[in-house]
């Protein structure tokens, strides 16, 4: 996990190889830079568009390094696809790792947490417990 500002600005189409695999939930320049830094035959998974829907990149990483860009559709995926994925997570995911990447707040803390997210003060995920 890296600071989002590290990849958020426009970059060159090919950069120093850094990653074998990337999961990007940001899109835009961050996704373009992640692709530009992915090693030969690496894989980039795009699952969000927090920074933007644009993809300011070139085909260079795809042609010269043979990287793959895969999109994850969690909204329209049919139940038959979702169920095995959730079962796999339940079986293989070490739940203690979730505590390291998540922060739990009550509903009254949601606005403050949102401001912290925008300010870049929170890493990982924020879970809002509406009953707390």
- pLDDT at residue number 107: 94
Rounded to a whole number of angstroms, the distance between the first and last alpha carbons of the chain is: 29
Alpha-carbon gap, residue 113 to 127, rounded angstroms: 10
Taking the whole predicted model, whether its pTM rises above 0.85 is answered as no
Spatial neighbors of 100 by CB under 8 A, at least 6 apart, are 124
- pLDDT at residue number 53: 93
Phi, psi angle pair for 99, to nearest 5°: -65, -30
Question: What is the residue extent of each domain of the chain?
Answer: 4-71, 91-129
Per-residue pLDDT tens, the chain, 132 aa: give them. Answer: 777 788 999 999 999 999 999 999 899 999 999 999 999 999 999 998 889 999 999 999 999 999 999 998 878 889 999 999 999 999 999 888 888 888 899 999 999 999 998 888 888 889 999 998
Dihedral of the alpha carbons of 12, 2, 38, 14, in degrees to the nearest 10: 10
- pLDDT at residue number 59: 97
Q: In which element (H, E) is residue 42 found?
A: strand 38-46
Assigned CATH for 4-71: 3.40.50.720
């Amino acid at each position: 996990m890296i600071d989002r500002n590290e990849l958020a600005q426009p970059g060159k189409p090919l950069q120093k190889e850094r990653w074998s695999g990337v999961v990007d939930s940001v899109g835009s320049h961050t996704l373009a830079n992640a692709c530009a830094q992915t090693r030969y035959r690496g894989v980039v998974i795009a699952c969000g568009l927090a920074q933007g829907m644009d993809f300011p990149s070139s085909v260079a990483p795809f042609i010269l390094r043979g990287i793959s860009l895969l999109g994850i559709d969690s909204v329209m995926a049919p139940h038959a696809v979702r169920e095995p994925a959730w079962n796999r997570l339940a079986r293989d995911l070490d739940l203690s790792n979730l505590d390291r990447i998540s922060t739990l707040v009550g509903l009254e803390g949601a606005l403050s947490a949102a401001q912290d997210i925008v300010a870049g003060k929170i890493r990982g995920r924020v879970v809002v417990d509406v009953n707390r």
